[in-house]
Structure 1
Amino acid sequence: MRTTYRLGIDAGGTFTDFVVANRNTGDVKLFKALSTPSDPTKAIENGLKLIADDFGITPADLVSDCDLCINGTTVGLNALITHRGGKTGLICTAGHEDSIEIRNGHKEDGFRYDPEYPAATMLVPRYLRKGVRERVLSDGSVRVRMEEADVRAACELFAKEGVETVAISFVWSVLNPEHERRAAEIVRKMLPDAILTVGSELYPQVREYTRTSTAVVNAYLAPVMRKYVKAVDAYFRSLGAKQPVRYFQSNGGLAIGQAMTDRSVYAINSGPASAPQAGLYVSAPFKKKNVITVDMGGTSFDITLTKDGQTNLNKNIDFLRYRIGVPMIQVETLGAGGGSIGWIDSLGLIQVGPQSAGSEPGPACYGQGGTEPTTSDANLVLGYLNPDGLLGGKLPLDLEKAKKAIKTRVADKLGISVERAAYGMYTIVNNNMVNGIRRVSVERGYDPRDFVLVGAGGATAAHITALAREMGIDTIILPKLASGLCAFGQIISDVKYNYMATAPLRLDNAAAYKRIDTLFGEIEKQGVAHLKTDGFKQGQIDVKRSLDMRYVGQVHECTVDIGTFPINEKTIEKVKDAFHRRHEELYTYSERHNAVEVVNIESTLYGRIDKPKAPKLKKGIPVSKALKGHRKAIFEASGKSTKTPIYDGARLGAGASIAGPAIIEEVTTTIVIEPGWTATLDASGSYVITRKKR
């Protein structure tokens, strides 16, 4: 029997979003529940009750009638931010116990010459990093056999200290993993309850520091993710779920719970990683493939950039000061959300964020005990938000408390009116977000004027025209589902796994070509077997290949996408040509006369999932009949207000066109249209907001 629904859940810092698609009709509905950081599964339970009540069924009926239930979560990210992961031990090659602290001698950009910049907090304290006498050389040969007694001594210490999770990473283990495998056997025997991460299995690529750091982060997050996955899986099983819950990974694809526990490092950017897929989907009806997707929630602001339909993947980067090698969707994140707190710095200037009021206690206007002025408070004072409340009135707002917070903490300290202070906060948070957009566009060689701006997140729509104006972008695509766009991105995504291997070879002989071709075959065989176990048939499986390549003598390599053709004497020139072209794209030059070498190989395997039917809006009532009334709103720094029409977005249909200044109130977001902009609702369910030609 064909199931009716597909469910996507995106747990954010303030709200947890739920998107339910009817696979038969294409209808998509969005629901929100306050996040519950102390017990994330509680928010899921609350959200499913909201959906079930709306549909007139039970949560069990809903879940049992879903073909897929997909969960994007910030649990892993929050554990890394707050340093609340598991107690971790590290077993490494003797003499390399401090590699994660030395960090290749690297300091983050912007702090390289700052002697007062504090060292990163180590996820494994020094006394729990235990060296093992062993040595594998760069050709894979064994110079010193592993001293098993050292591994046993480490296990005895870990047992005594209550270590929950262990990372193993030896030098050159990617070329000969024999020692790591034997050490893993000993750990499993002596510490049967500990979670184990083996570096050469998690990240089988060269660069010992990156591999060790990745293994440590994975191990650190594994107990948190195991507990979370276990609780969520058990809850959905109790409701009669027919399929295992899928979890969204930071590489932009889905995975089952076991994979997320074993590869917890892939959970770090689980939520925002689905934004590019959703941004491309809502832009497709307008033939747009250059997309900047921005997502402003209650706590953070996430930015992703997609050029020609391809979203950049990061590898071997520092994330929250920890080096991570595995592929992650390139997301620029900053502390600029609806809950970001406004304050006055030592120079007497307004600042907003990165501190956030979150969902507990939340902005002052939520009336839940918060006293700090936030972006949401400023938006309420400016007249952008409905004083009657958010979420269709389910979350009432207190205008007087918002004014009091801004007056006490900002306006009085500057000697200005509450309205001017609120507009100042609004401008500052917008500037912070614009700077973030520039980092993913201008600073990487892209002209933002060549892109459309796609709005996601519940708070974005109040700022979207201001952001586009500052960036010189003339077209905005804002779906009705904007506040749950990441959850929507999850339900249209595929299962995705990355498989890697190290292949340090010069591309100048048949033996090298054969070795690369053989390695691709081996890792892809593993991936296909994994996906078939997951229920996919051969026709549902796709493979994409890439190589990390460089000119001989270079220190760093670049990733080059290639086809799935055999690697041999006839095809190797295609591979080299792809590298030369990619090198020129990145660095403006190529050296076609120079020898080329491969460092690592990677295969990305996709399990293709049927997509829900696309929604289609009908023509609605005349725009004038959707007018709810007028409200004073402020669009200039003087604090002068403008009588602004307010429209009920739920009553607008395809073809509706509204010129600014205006405000459109959707159930889960509020769209502020500045003077000079016009919003037209497309049949695909997205507002296309354009600016008058200058």
Structure 2
Amino acid sequence: MNSKYRLGIDAGGTFTDFVLAEQTGGSRLYKTLSTPADPTLAIRNGLALIAEDLGVALEEIIPNCDLCINGTTVGLNALIQHKGARTGLICTAGHEDSIEIRNGHKEDGYRYDAEYPPAVMLVPRNLRKGVRERVLSNGTVRTPMEEEDVRAACRAFIEEGIETVAISFVWSVLHPDHEKRAAEIVREMMPDALVTIGSELYPQVREYTRTSTAITNAYLAPILKNYVTAVDAYFRSLGARAPVRYFQSNGGLATGNVVADRSVYAINSGPASAPRAGLHVTEPFDEKNVITVDMGGTSFDITLTYEGVTNLNKNIDFLRYRIGVPMIQVETLGAGGGSIGWIDDMGLLQMGPQSAGSDPGPACYGRGGVEPTTTDVNLVLGYLNPDGLVGGRLPLDKAKAEDAIRSRIAEPLGLSLEKAAYGMFTIVNANMVNGIRRVSIERGYDPRDFVLVCAGGATGAHITAIAREMGIDRIIVPKLASGLCAFGQIISDVKYNHMATCPVRLDNEEAYERVNALFRQIEQEGREHLHKDGFADDRIRITRSLEMRYVGQVHECTVDVETFDIDAQTVERLKDAFHRRHEQLYTYSEPKNTVEVVNIESTLYGIVDKPSDARLSSGGGADSALKGTRMAIFSREGEHTRTPVYDGRKLGAGDRIEGPAIIEEVTTTIVVEPGWTAVLHEGGSYVISAKR
């Protein structure tokens, strides 16, 4: 296909970002307000901006895109607001309450908090139907499935108007026939219902995790199906020649039908592309230890990449629901540009997690918002241009921002407007710093060994303050920072995770052959899937991991290994990798103890060609980009400092700016605090360093 463009769309809580990359090099960034009530409306509005900017019809742009990629918060929002579909569960009789028992405890952090309320159940008790059947832990059938129980469940579901069904039986991963037959009956009696089969979605041991994952998938499936159907139809109407790809929480792309069937993979799709983008922008500087921070209008997302590898989560509690499938490890806080400042019952100033979002938005948006937000603070502190955001398309009302902070914060606390604003700025920064500490220091990483990459439209105003507090002395801010996740999508590959349960001890030849055969089986399934997506074998890459433990241990650890045939000789490589990983995690290993495998996983990538990067021409010195000065506040005393303001569009490669300074890009503002220096690299990123 002879294409000119690649399009990435990242739908956030406040803004939806669009990155249009040209195959010849260079990218264009566009933003529009998100429309949570109808997410497709924001896509239409953004595409209209692109057509207007290029001066051509959309029907000439979309057919010339080799890929259109969409990262969406539709699933996430439905789960947060508990607005998923009415869901029924078919499970082994006697296990109807496993999702409430939750392995006998609340999620980590609240395990011993008696006042912490129970999670809202996605499937009410009366919609959990037990079926008489039983498979033992060796895969043999003790009790055949009573098909009439499944039919009775379907009749009850029909009466209740159920539109999606999850099926999860005990030990179904070793004998999935009961689940498959139950699914056939459901499809026969409820042809319009969507069906999630637990052993296919998450074919690994741990019944509670598998059931919870299946329920969450079923709960979101109709929402995602309706969304991708609408988006796919819209792009087809514009002449799209390739199917829309959707970004998954595992950090890869998938087609709409896959996302609809495996909707649990799309829960956190937006921020999952940030690590890939972070590694891309740090590549010219040979940096592989990267903390990427993304502050949008609603949330603050943090990801950590160590030695080029981004952490993945499996079997975790996400929004209080156990999810087994792999997800990029993202720490999310309620700290965005729309985070609301308020005074608690003890008279202490707080910021967030409540957000003004895009409707009504911060007070300065003039859309009816009256609560003081982070954006109002940055405007009052002099960081933001009073003429407006997004190149002036979103005007700001400084007087309304001042009134909101003065009436809601400053006067009740007996502070000046300036001190109150800087106090709010300090608190929201402290919240973000605490989040960075959780993904770094609390997990054994020293943040000073990392470079901090700035993403999101609101982050630039806070980035040097955050780095200063963390002791990080190098920051990279790409010109595309406010759309970095959308950019990460267009440079990502198609990615599918294929898993299997394989409970064997690595002490006999039969065990080696079983592990080897299972890897081959799931990888062949993955290859066939990618072949259907149009990828030849030379465009497919495979990585492997195993969940392993010493015999007698309760919990296992994930071990990444190379792809090779497993036999009596090479199995020692598996054991050695496990011993090293165990010692890394727990400071000891037991080489003489027997090692056993619990689960295996193969990740298959369909390699996508990447757009070319543009190079900036050399600049003529920062003075040529100086727009003027603005009074800004950089201290808790609230003192004003006359600060130079630079037009980022007029800066060139090599231009150097000493702080204090403000750099205004079209979709983001970068605050360079006193004691920091910014230099624009030819790759299109500002390298901001602390003066030594």
Q: TM over 0.5: same fold? A: yes
Query: Partner residue of 2:159?
Result: 160
| 1:155-554 alignment runs, 5 A limit | 155-554=154-553
Query: Partner residue of 2:124?
Result: 125
In structure 1, C-alpha distance between the alignment counterparts of 2:111 and 2:521, rounded to whole Å:
41
Unaligned runs of 5+ residues in structure 2 are: none
Contact 1:503 1:601 in 2 (8 A): yes
In structure 1, C-alpha distance between the alignment counterparts of 2:168 and 2:113, rounded to whole Å:
31
SS of equivalent residue, structure 1 residue 153: helix
- How far is 1:621 from its partner? 3.1
305-314 or 561-570, which deviates more: 561-570
- Would you identify which runs of 4 or more consecutive aligned residues in structure 1 move more than 3 Å? none
Contact 1:540 1:608 in 2 (8 A): yes
Query: Partner residue of 2:146?
Result: 147
- How far is 1:283 from its partner? 0.2
- How far is 1:109 from its partner? 2.7
In structure 1, C-alpha distance between the alignment counterparts of 2:286 and 2:620, rounded to whole Å:
28
Contact 1:250 1:267 in 2 (8 A): yes
- How far is 1:363 from its partner? 0.2
Listed one character per residue, the Cα deviations across residues 565-591 of structure 1 (whole Å, up to 9, x for unaligned) are 101101000110001111111111111
In structure 2, C-alpha distance between the alignment counterparts of 1:142 and 1:682, rounded to whole Å:
64
In structure 1, C-alpha distance between the alignment counterparts of 2:397 and 2:238, rounded to whole Å:
38
Query: Partner residue of 1:3?
Result: 3
Letter in 2 for 1:193: D
In structure 2, C-alpha distance between the alignment counterparts of 1:332 and 1:114, rounded to whole Å:
22
| 1:515-594 alignment runs, 5 A limit | 515-594=514-593
In structure 2, C-alpha distance between the alignment counterparts of 1:317 and 1:303, rounded to whole Å:
17
Listed one character per residue, the Cα deviations across residues 323-372 of structure 1 (whole Å, up to 9, x for unaligned) are 00000000000100000000000111110000000000000000000000
- How far is 1:309 from its partner? 0.1
Contact 1:275 1:304 in 2 (8 A): yes
113-122 or 103-112, which deviates more: 103-112
In structure 2, C-alpha distance between the alignment counterparts of 1:622 and 1:485, rounded to whole Å:
26
- How far is 1:115 from its partner? 1.4
Letter in 1 for 2:181: R
In structure 2, C-alpha distance between the alignment counterparts of 1:142 and 1:408, rounded to whole Å:
69
Contact 2:621 2:656 in 1 (8 A): no
Contact 1:621 1:651 in 2 (8 A): no
- How far is 1:59 from its partner? 1.1
In structure 2, C-alpha distance between the alignment counterparts of 1:416 and 1:672, rounded to whole Å:
24
- How far is 1:556 from its partner? 0.7
| 1:614-629 alignment runs, 5 A limit | 614-629=613-628
611-620 or 250-259, which deviates more: 611-620
Contact 2:559 2:581 in 1 (8 A): yes
In structure 1, C-alpha distance between the alignment counterparts of 2:340 and 2:439, rounded to whole Å:
24
Q: Tell me whether 1:42 sits opposite 2:41 in the alignment.
A: yes
In structure 2, C-alpha distance between the alignment counterparts of 1:568 and 1:649, rounded to whole Å:
59
Contact 2:549 2:596 in 1 (8 A): yes
Unaligned runs of 5+ residues in structure 1 are: none
- How far is 1:469 from its partner? 0.4
In structure 1, C-alpha distance between the alignment counterparts of 2:596 and 2:47, rounded to whole Å:
52
Contact 2:543 2:603 in 1 (8 A): yes
- How far is 1:108 from its partner? 2.4
Contact 1:255 1:495 in 2 (8 A): yes
In structure 2, C-alpha distance between the alignment counterparts of 1:112 and 1:204, rounded to whole Å:
28
Listed one character per residue, the Cα deviations across residues 553-572 of structure 1 (whole Å, up to 9, x for unaligned) are 11111111111110110100
Q: Tell me whether 1:604 sits opposite 2:588 in the alignment.
A: no
In structure 2, C-alpha distance between the alignment counterparts of 1:41 and 1:69, rounded to whole Å:
14
TM-score (norm 1): 0.99
Contact 2:135 2:142 in 1 (8 A): yes
- How far is 1:141 from its partner? 0.4
In structure 2, C-alpha distance between the alignment counterparts of 1:491 and 1:511, rounded to whole Å:
44
Contact 1:274 1:489 in 2 (8 A): yes
In structure 1, C-alpha distance between the alignment counterparts of 2:558 and 2:408, rounded to whole Å:
49
- How far is 1:106 from its partner? 1.8
- How far is 1:623 from its partner? 1.1
In structure 1, C-alpha distance between the alignment counterparts of 2:109 and 2:325, rounded to whole Å:
24
In structure 2, C-alpha distance between the alignment counterparts of 1:86 and 1:621, rounded to whole Å:
58
- How far is 1:114 from its partner? 1.8
Query: Partner residue of 2:53?
Result: 54
SS of equivalent residue, structure 1 residue 502: strand
Listed one character per residue, the Cα deviations across residues 197-254 of structure 1 (whole Å, up to 9, x for unaligned) are 0000000000000000000000000010001000000000000001000000000000
Contact 1:247 1:256 in 2 (8 A): yes
586-595 or 681-690, which deviates more: 586-595
Query: Partner residue of 1:20?
Result: 20
Letter in 2 for 1:385: L
In structure 2, C-alpha distance between the alignment counterparts of 1:300 and 1:260, rounded to whole Å:
24
- How far is 1:105 from its partner? 1.2
In structure 1, C-alpha distance between the alignment counterparts of 2:349 and 2:302, rounded to whole Å:
24
Letter in 2 for 1:15: F
SS of equivalent residue, structure 1 residue 521: helix
In structure 1, C-alpha distance between the alignment counterparts of 2:177 and 2:491, rounded to whole Å:
41
Contact 2:122 2:216 in 1 (8 A): yes
SS of equivalent residue, structure 2 residue 599: strand
Listed one character per residue, the Cα deviations across residues 283-309 of structure 1 (whole Å, up to 9, x for unaligned) are 000000000000000000000000000
In structure 2, C-alpha distance between the alignment counterparts of 1:8 and 1:237, rounded to whole Å:
16
In structure 1, C-alpha distance between the alignment counterparts of 2:249 and 2:383, rounded to whole Å:
33
In structure 1, C-alpha distance between the alignment counterparts of 2:549 and 2:412, rounded to whole Å:
56
Letter in 1 for 2:106: K
TM-score (norm 2): 1.00
In structure 1, C-alpha distance between the alignment counterparts of 2:260 and 2:27, rounded to whole Å:
30
